[in-house]
Each structure stands twice: as C-alpha cells, then as structure tokens.
Chain A
Amino acid sequence: MGLLVKDKQVVVPGDILADDIGFIPGFGTYRNSHNLVCSRLGLVNIEGKVVKIIPLSGKYLPRRNDIVVGRVFDILMAGWRVDINSPYSAVLSNKETPEFIERNEDLSKHFDLDEHLVCKVTNVTSQNLVDVSCRDQGLRKLRGGRIIHVNTHKVPRIIGKKGSMVSMIKQATGCRIIVGQNGLVWIDGEPDKENIAVDAIRKIETESHIPGLTDRMKTHLEEITGVKISLNEGDYNGLQ
C-alpha cells in the first residue's frame, strides 16, 4: 500500500503510481478505484500527498502572460492570426500593436504573412480562443535573425534561473536572443556566433538532466568564444 514510484521517475500512461486512496491526483494522473494512475508520459513529482506528472512531451499550451514567438499566417479584417506553435492559433488585434493603426490602413504594412513577432498572451478563454498583444515594452515584429524550434518543456532550462542561462549565451556570443515560452527561439547576430548560440541551446536541451549544467555551459562558452562570462542574475528581462 502506498507509493509505487519514486520522485522524478519516468512514467508512462497506465503505470500505477500509488495504490493508496490517501494520495491526491494532480496533473497527468487519474484515479481508478483505489489506484492513482499515470495519464501522461513524464516525470513523477510528489509534493506531500499530491502526485502529479511533469510532462516530457506535448505541445505548448498558452497561459496568460506568457511571452511567445509567433508567426503571422493570416491577415484578418481587424488584426492577424498568429501561429504560436500550439493546438490553437492566436489573434493579434489591430488595437494591440506597438504603434497606433489608423482605420483602413493596410494591415500587411505592419505585420505581413510569415513574419515573426514576439508578443504576450493576454487571454485564453475556456473555448481555447487565444489573444496576444504587442503593446508592452519590447514586444514587436522580429526583423531578420533566425528562428529555431526547441522542446517547449526545456524552455525553463534554456532561460535559466532569473534568465542566467540565456544571459550567458548572449554575453558569450553577442547575439540578441528571445526565448518564447512556446518553444520558438529568435537569435540575431554574426553568423558564426549565431551557430555557437544554437549549438549551446541544443546542448542545454540534451544535457538538461545532468547536474552542473550551468557551470558546464559557462566553461563551454568561455572556451569556444574566449569571452569571460559573469553570472549575473536579474539581468534578463526576456526582451531586448
């Protein structure tokens, strides 16, 4: 009776996590008579009596206040439809742009098809309708640069505590980098430095589970670029 799995163990849908009714089903689990069962591929997370799953895969699900990198794929009467790498697309209203837009202005002059932008999720309705906005400081169309797709579940590791990880990469490569919660990362700098930044991000993705990642990345970046990195927390505001 009790817990049948350890914290941070990889579990698979159908795995029995606990056979004691005292445990409370959190995200990614469900109850089947007295068993607590896994319903999502991921890592077990136990907090007191609550057992939940931290998913290792699955699409990005938008939450209010998330900063995301999106791509315009449709121009509407009063705004744009934006692909945010999620099951549902988002709408950017013409009232939510950095500059004021006159009535009857050609919207494609502001955001055209296939252009990328960094924006904030302002609302997600129960019907999964998503609104985004570009009004806050730093939110805007992303000109030039390149976009890579990363595992959305690795985004927190790529950003690091208080932005420390992405800040290191920016220091070492001199690139502008914006990491969207939705797994899209925009990078802009000298071509060879961009490649170093991309490699560093891929390294974080594959090695995120091995302890000591921050120190390893610092050493790795300093070696490759010759730039001395200072670990500054609080540097990062997600936007530049």
Chain B
Amino acid sequence: MDYNKRLDGRDFDELRPMEAKAGVIKKADGSAYFRMGNTVAYAAVYGPREMFPKFQQDPKKGVLRCNYNMMPFSGAGDRVRPGPSRRSKEISAVTEKALSAVVDLSDSPNAVVDVYIEFPQTDAGSRCCGINAAAIALADAGIPMRDIVAAVAVGHAGNKICVDLNYEEEHLPDYVEGLDDKDVADIPVAIVPSTGEISLLQMDGIIPKETLIKALHKAKAALMQVNEVQRNALREKFAAVADEENGENIENVENGFEEN
C-alpha cells in the first residue's frame, strides 16, 4: 500500500507550522529564532569582526563561518554528547555554502562573520531550520546579501513526495506497516527565492531521478512560504520604524553630526 494519509494529518504539500522572530539574542550583532513544527533553531551572528587565527584570513573578502550545534537534550532519543561531531561539522560546512551563495563580504577583507546555530529541540529538518534562522540573523546583522535563503527538507516516502518531513516520516517503515515502497529519501534543499537557484542540496535514500526533480519543484513552491515567514520576522522587528516619519527626521538620520 502507499502512504495515503500523513501521520500528523498534513497535506503532502503542507509545511509544519512555522514561527520566526528576529533580534532575540541581545548580545549578538544579529539573531533569530525559527521553528518548524517541533524543530526549533536559534541563530546568532557576530561580525564582520577581525578573524583569528590570522592564517585563515582572506585578503580579498570576508569569510563566513558557520557552527551547527545540538543542545544535549535536543535529540529524539538519547542525550547528545556536547561538542562537535562529524555530522555537525559536515552540516556546518553545507550551511556555510548555502548562505555564502547570497552573502556579499567583498567589503570586509580579512574579517569573519560568525554564525552560531543552536537547537534546544529537533524533530527532523534541523539543518534546514538552522539555515532559515541563520538567513534572518544575517539580514538582522546588516550583512549585505542578494536575498534571504530559505530551506526545507522534502522527502519521498511510501511513494509520495512529502514536504517538510518530521522524524517519524524520515523513518516511515518503523511507523507504518505494509508499505509497498520501503525506501525513504530525505532531501534537504535551500533556495535563493528571487532566482530559484539552489544553494543546498543533499539526498539520502533510493530514488529515481524523475522523482527527485518532481520533489525539487515541490520544494521550490513550499520555500516561498518559508521565505514569507522569514521576511515578516524582519519586518515585524522594525514595524514601529515603518510608521510615517516626517522629512525632518530623516534628514537628521543622515546629517546629524556634520556640525562639530
């Protein structure tokens, strides 16, 4: 039999409920909180700032450095031992590539922009949730970028393409008996919304090419919704500022300190 009704009742194209907020960590230059279902990510940005160790500096442009970390109590089962793992290092690397595609650090040679992503709780899709939080945090920090990268994990489970897999769907045969197709494919995707360029793509599982391409199109559509949530979080933070300002005030913003 096929996977006909999703375990949590969602439509196959439906994302889990999302929530986002910008500016949640006061000490950071930029920060954000992003939730997708039960996966929650905090991202904090520090930078551009001087880069150490010096030998890692790039004299042509700034460097983006990402750090993905799960809090010990955030895993589905056992406690997660603190400290970097092979998995977290790899995810840090692909996160950095996903975001580097849009970030412009040409005005910050020898500097670094550090992005820290932490998870109090995960329920699959954490690297995507982390990228979503990080993208907001980078914009919040005033880092120049082409667009705000949005990410989601789509999957192929029980012959159906599902958007935004949760933990149970990632392990579907453990939860649904009698599936014809026991192969589950998990496909995290990140996109530059304005152009449709894909900046993160990973895939685990057995899948025919046609299905993958279909899944990518579904991801693209879903990612527009993710992007709306991200943009709104930033707009909301400055909603008060968007009120009508009279002309005099704006002039002050520009010329305040000309007289000395």
Contacts and interface: CB of A to CB of B under 8 A. Distances in A.
Whether A and B touch directly in their complex, counting CB atoms under 8 A apart, is answered as: yes
A65 B142 CA distance: 23
A211 B246 contact: yes
B139 A10 contact: no
Interface string B209-244: 000000000000000000100010011001111111
Interface string A27-71: 010101000010111110100000000111111000001110000
Interface in B94-148: 102, 104, 108-111, 139-148
Nearest to A13: B145
Contacts of A55: 142
Interface string A110-131: 0000000000000000011000
B50 A88 contact: yes
B260 A238 contact: yes
B55 to A, nearest CB: 18
> Looking at A127, A153, A210, A236, which has the most chain B CB atoms within 10 Å of its CB?
A210
Contacts of B253: 54, 153, 156-157
B256 A156 contact: yes
A8 B250 contact: yes
Nearest to A136: B260
A156 B252 contact: yes
A162 interface: yes
Contacts of B250: 8, 43, 45, 54
Contacts of A58: 29, 141-143
A156 B139 contact: no
A41 B140 contact: yes
Contacts of A14: 145-148, 193-194, 227, 231
A211 B249 contact: yes
Given A32-B194, A156-B256, A10 B235 contact: yes
Contacts of B244: 8, 211
A10 B242 contact: yes
A147 interface: no
Given A41-B234, A45-B250, A87-B47, A10 B241 contact: yes
A32 B255 CA distance: 30
A13 B245 contact: no
A206 B87 CA distance: 42
Contacts of A159: 256-257
Interface string A173-204: 00000000100000000000000000000000
> Looking at B50, B62, B148, B253, which has the most chain A CB atoms within 10 Å of its CB?
B253
Contact of A40 (B144, B193, B246): B144
Nearest to A35: B194
Interface residues of B, number: 49
A163 B257 CA distance: 8
A87 B252 contact: no
B79 to A, nearest CB: 37
A108 interface: no
A149 to B, nearest CB: 10
B30 interface: yes
Interface in A120-179: 127-128, 153, 155-157, 159-163
B257 A89 contact: no
B260 A67 contact: yes
Contacts of B146: 13-14, 30, 32, 37, 39
A109 interface: no
Contacts of A57: 29-30, 140-142
A237 interface: yes
Nearest to B227: A14
A210 B139 contact: no
A103 interface: no
Given A14-B147, A87-B49, A156-B254, 16 more contacts: A12-B139, A13-B145, A16-B194, A42-B142, A54-B254, A56-B238, A87-B47, A88-B50, A89-B50, A155-B257, A157-B249, A157-B253, A159-B256, A161-B256, A209-B241, A211-B246
10 contacts: A10-B242, A12-B234, A54-B250, A58-B141, A58-B142, A67-B257, A155-B257, A156-B252, A156-B253, A210-B243
Interface of B: 29-30, 47-50, 62, 102, 104, 108-111, 139-148, 193-195, 227, 231, 234-235, 238-246, 249-250, 252-257, 259-260
